């Protein structure tokens, strides 16, 4: 059997108090406060605890070429090498098609900027269920937040002493202002209504559709859409999870922005489409009734093809998704549909269901849209106190 060192690894000195049952048996309160080294390796699901000597040893094992296990054991000691294998920091040649080997391969092939790779690997969720956290009393309300953390930093952020601000002229108002004013996050969808084929098509074209492309060089094509995108790359893909839409079976589809067409990836029974949707949005019960969601994924291989190991590129992709989200909100508002965006998503489950190539493509956010329900059960930000300027503009 031959092994090599994983491609990427980042070390954190962890001093957070943690629970250890062994401490209880030793007569303590169960809380361990001693610092420990955590190795974050993006090909692993969880960080692993390491000792400095293990990191030193790891540095002596080749990362590019595989080495016979016998030789590694002879050079460095069998127990020490076997520990690194057990931790998953040495990867066997025969693992080739395993999930973690695919992740490790992507960390080699895609010219990631290291800290972004770390955050991408460490920030993914699996099996998070916000509804059950509410039920277990694990989600503090605003009063409890203030009690625990003190008041939030002020909502009006002054940089100069009060009273010195320069007043600006009265803003113009056009029909665009009515659209902006009507936009809000919907958490009350009609549990029965379906999306009309026309609305769905309009939403997809306006938000994720391409108006054209420009060849910058053979092999390098910039894309034109209604929202801006860093480098003209438009490395964000749209996957549609349909529950109720006229003319479409419940299932998962991939949108083709240049053809304005859908690739049908997976059929689902209505019930399982609903369950999947609920799991994708991390158990946010208030989004369960939406007839369709769009999962926005980022293609890191396309991004880093241009911005190789670039410190700003990962940030650009998140901004791209934000722009698409706002275009989506405005388009939905224009069509009289409710809409939402969420970044609280179970990325790992989405990755598996959509069969995304790990660390080359991953979900960044989910948006949903559809007819609003007649009842307001869940909170929406429509009962705010308008400031005097907005009040006078609205009265116009």
Ligand X SMILES: Cc1cc2nc3c(=O)[nH]c(=O)nc-3n(C[C@H](O)[C@H](O)[C@H](O)COP(=O)(O)O)c2cc1C
Minimum distance, C-beta of residue 11 to ligand X, in the bound complex (Å): 30
Q: Which is nearer to ligand X, 136 or 381 (CB)?
A: 381
Q: Which is nearer to ligand X, 259 or 326 (CB)?
A: 326
Applying CB under 6 A, does 346 fall inside the site for ligand X? no
Applying CB under 6 A, does 344 fall inside the site for ligand X? yes
Sign of CA dihedral 387, 369, 356, 225: negative
Contact stretch for ligand X (CB under 6 A) within 8-16, 95-103, 169-177, 183-191? 183-191
Burial profile 69-82: b = 16 or more Cβ within 10 angstroms, e = fewer: beebeeeeeeebbe
Q: Around 67, how many Cα atoms within 13 Å sit in the side-chain half-sphere?
A: 20
Cβ count near 263 (within 10 Å):
12
* DSSP classification of residue 358: T
Minimum distance, C-beta of residue 329 to ligand X, in the bound complex (Å): 7
What residues from 202 to 261 belong to the interface with ligand X (CB under 6 A)? none
Q: How many residues bind ligand X (CB under 6 A)?
A: 10
Contact stretch for ligand X (CB under 6 A) within 121-129, 181-189, 204-212, 265-273? 181-189
Applying CB under 6 A, does 381 fall inside the site for ligand X? yes
Residue 90 CB contacts under 8 Å (≥ 6 apart), including other chains? 3, 4, 5, 6, 58, 61, 72, 81, 84
Minimum distance, C-beta of residue 366 to ligand X, in the bound complex (Å): 9
Q: How far apart are CA 247 and CA 48, in angstroms?
A: 48
Residue 167 CB contacts under 8 Å (≥ 6 apart), including other chains? none
Instruction: Determine the distance from the C-alpha atom of residue 354 to the mean position of all C-alpha atoms in its chain, rounded to a whole number.
Output: 14
Minimum distance, C-beta of residue 117 to ligand X, in the bound complex (Å): 22
Q: Which is nearer to ligand X, 103 or 187 (CB)?
A: 187
Q: Which of 2, 100, 108, 184 touches ligand X (CB under 6 A)?
A: 184
Q: Which of 66, 343, 357, 393 touches ligand X (CB under 6 A)?
A: 343
Q: Which is nearer to ligand X, 13 or 381 (CB)?
A: 381
One-character DSSP codes across 363-380: EEEEEEEEPBPSS--S--
Instruction: Determine the distance from the C-alpha atom of residue 262 to the mean position of all C-alpha atoms in its chain, rounded to a whole number.
Output: 23
Burial profile 351-384: b = 16 or more Cβ within 10 angstroms, e = fewer: bebbebbbbbbbbbbbbbbbbbbeeeeeeeeeee
Q: Which of 185, 196, 201, 202 touches ligand X (CB under 6 A)?
A: 185
Contact stretch for ligand X (CB under 6 A) within 7-15, 167-175, 184-192, 289-297? 184-192
Applying CB under 6 A, does 342 fall inside the site for ligand X? yes
Question: Helices 69-76 & 78-87, crossing angle to 10 degrees?
Answer: 120
Applying CB under 6 A, does 188 fall inside the site for ligand X? no
Minimum distance, C-beta of residue 312 to ligand X, in the bound complex (Å): 19
What residues from 278 to 317 belong to the interface with ligand X (CB under 6 A)? 284
Q: Which of 116, 298, 303, 341 touches ligand X (CB under 6 A)?
A: 341
Minimum distance, C-beta of residue 234 to ligand X, in the bound complex (Å): 19
Which stretches within 7-113 are classed as H helix? Answer: 21-25, 52-58, 69-76, 78-87, 99-109
Applying CB under 6 A, does 181 fall inside the site for ligand X? no
Minimum distance, C-beta of residue 213 to ligand X, in the bound complex (Å): 28
- How many degrees, rounded to 5, is the angle at CA 187 between CA 185 and CA 188? 125
Q: How far apart are CA 193 and CA 294, in angstroms?
A: 17
Minimum distance, C-beta of residue 386 to ligand X, in the bound complex (Å): 13
Applying CB under 6 A, does 266 fall inside the site for ligand X? no
Longest dimension (CA), the chain: 84
Minimum distance, C-beta of residue 322 to ligand X, in the bound complex (Å): 7
Residue 352 CB contacts under 8 Å (≥ 6 apart), including other chains? none
Q: Which is nearer to ligand X, 208 or 340 (CB)?
A: 340
Minimum distance, C-beta of residue 362 to ligand X, in the bound complex (Å): 16
What residues from 311 to 340 belong to the interface with ligand X (CB under 6 A)? 340
Query: What residues make contact with ligand X under the rule CB under 6 A?
Result: 184-185, 187, 284, 340-344, 381
């Amino acid at each position: 059997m031959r092994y090599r060192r994983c491609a990427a690894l980042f070390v954190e000195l962890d001093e957070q108090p943690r629970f250890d049952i062994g401490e209880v048996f030793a007569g303590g309160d169960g809380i361990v406060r001693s610092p420990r080294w955590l190795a974050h390796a993006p090909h692993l699901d969880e960080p692993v605890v390491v000792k400095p000597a293990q990191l030193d040893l790891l540095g002596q094992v080749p990362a590019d070429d595989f080495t016979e296990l016998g030789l590694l054991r002879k050079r460095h000691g069998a127990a020490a090498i076997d520990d690194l294998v057990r931790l998953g920091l040495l990867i066997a040649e025969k693992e080739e098609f395993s999930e973690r080997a695919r992740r490790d391969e992507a960390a080699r092939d895609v010219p990631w900027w290291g800290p972004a790779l770390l955050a991408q690997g460490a920030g993914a969720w699996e099996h998070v269920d916000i509804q059950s956290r509410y039920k277990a009393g694990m989600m503090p309300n605003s009063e409890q937040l203030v009690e625990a953390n003190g008041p939030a930093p002020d909502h009006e952020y002054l940089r100069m002493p009060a009273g010195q601000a320069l007043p600006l002229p009265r803003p113009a108002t056009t029909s665009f202002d009515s659209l902006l004013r009507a936009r809000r996050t919907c958490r009350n969808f009609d549990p029965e209504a379906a999306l009309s084929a026309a609305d769905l098509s309009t939403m997809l074209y306006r938000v994720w559709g391409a108006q054209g492309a420009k060849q910058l060089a053979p092999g390098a094509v910039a894309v034109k859409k209604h929202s801006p995108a860093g480098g003209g790359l438009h490395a964000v893909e749209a996957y549609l999870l349909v529950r109720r839409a006229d003319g479409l079976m419940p299932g998962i589809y991939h949108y083709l922005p240049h053809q304005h067409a859908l690739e049908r990836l997976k059929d689902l029974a209505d019930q399982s489409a609903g369950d999947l949707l609920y799991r994708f949005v991390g158990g946010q019960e208030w989004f369960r009734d939406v007839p369709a969601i769009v999962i926005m994924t980022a293609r890191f291989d396309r991004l880093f093809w241009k911005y190789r190991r670039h410190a700003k590129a990962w940030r650009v992709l998140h901004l791209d998704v934000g722009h698409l989200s706002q275009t989506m909100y405005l388009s939905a508002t224009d069509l009289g549909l409710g809409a939402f965006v969420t970044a609280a998503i179970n990325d790992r489950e989405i990755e598996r269901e959509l069969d995304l190539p790990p660390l080359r493509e991953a979900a960044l956010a989910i948006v949903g849209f559809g007819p609003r329900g007649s009842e307001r059960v869940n909170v929406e930000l429509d009962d705010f106190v308008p400031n005097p300027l907005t009040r006078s503009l609205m009265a116009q």
